[in-house]
A = this chain, B = another copy of it.
Amino acid sequence: MPASKCIVLAERPTKDIDPARTFRQETREVGDPGEGEVLVKVMWLSLDPAMRGWLNDKRSYLPPVQIGETMRSGGLGVVAKAGEGVKLAVGDAVQCTPGWTEYAVLKAASCTKIILPPGTQVLDYLNTLGSPGMTAYFGLKDVGKLKAGEKLLVSGAAGAVGSLVCQLGVSMGAQVYAIAGQQEKCEWLEKELGVVKGLNYKAPDFRQQLKSIGYIDVYFDNVGGEILDMVLLQLNMHARIPFCGSISGYNGKPRPLQNYPNIIAMRATLQGFIVFDYAKQYEAARKELAEGLSSGAIKRKFHIVEGLEKCPEAVTMLFSGGNTGKLVVKVADVDETQARL
């Protein structure tokens, strides 16, 4: 069995991730897959803001990653060896949660075989057809209950989830406003994704810009903190806030909210959600999103970093605003003779 490079949690960060201290690289022997298991060779890893939360030793929707444990991570791989009683075959491409590693033994039941709809590519399974896509889809439709003609505001709009929320909002007939942290991101959101206006939260007149868009029906929030607090004063009656992430506070204490009593006056709803709860409805959503990709109606952008060892450094980009679009790490080239893609 191959020896596998992997990156493990060395020390829990109290604030920002320090790539050199928070993680360390190791080489570990990977065992043979047992009954119901597969050995997966990792091709791609997905880096997501939620990872920061998994490093904290506290109660959440998933258990914390333990010190010395391989860092949890979604990814795509190829089945290199299949144990007893497994339907997957060697060479099958799968979506799975291998962690930051070259090889992983995983329960076959936790791996989803990738069957590419026409007009899509394998990486879409970490983005539009994967967790970010499902998060955007169910957050906006089920939690946000967006209706045509409403005003939608999206934070973290140039990220994987946000950029899809923007596009879904436009396609649903909403007036979409998008918050990002760079002028180029704002321009991309306006010109490529069709939002009414991109708002740069680092601009000195951001507060004024935000006020000028008027009352908001749906605020799809990825960041929490100060921006959420401002938006709380700008809610329309019966506004909905699908509360998807609170990135601004992941690396330390979240900035407190002062204006929350306005939630009462405006009969607004701040609703947290975790995409896993919608797993039974993924297939229908994936079908719809795949059609959008295939027709070109849905655009996506990848920010690709090469090499497993780059994971610790790359993940910090999600908090500094370094990426536009979905951040992924290429771990290995696919051997096309092996992978059934």
Contact = CB atoms under 8 A, between A and B. Distances in A.
Contacts of A269: 269-272
Name the prevailing secondary structure of the A interface residues: loop
A138 to B, nearest CB: 12
Interface string A263-278: 1111111111110010
A295 interface: no
Nearest to A221: B264
B267 A263 contact: no
Interface residues of A, number: 31
A302 interface: no
Interface string A234-259: 00000000011110010001101110
Interface centre among A244, A260, A271 (most CB of B within 10 A): A260
Contact of A266 (B244, B253, B265, B272): B272
Contact of A272 (B257, B264, B274): B264
A299 B107 CA distance: 57
Contacts of A244: 264
A274 B267 CA distance: 6
Given A254-B258, A257-B256, A272 B267 contact: yes
A61 B268 CA distance: 12
B254 A261 contact: yes
Nearest to A62: B265
Copies in the complex: 2
Nearest to A59: B265
Contacts of A33: none
Interface in A221-241: 224
Contacts of A256: 256-258
Nearest to A246: B261
27 contacts: A53-B265, A59-B265, A61-B265, A61-B266, A61-B267, A224-B261, A249-B261, A253-B258, A254-B258, A254-B260, A256-B257, A256-B258, A257-B257, A260-B270, A263-B271, A263-B272, A264-B272, A264-B273, A264-B274, A265-B272, A267-B271, A267-B274, A267-B277, A268-B272, A269-B271, A269-B272, A270-B271
Contacts of A243: 263-264
A-B CB proximity, top 4 nearest:
A256-B256, A264-B272, A263-B272, A246-B261
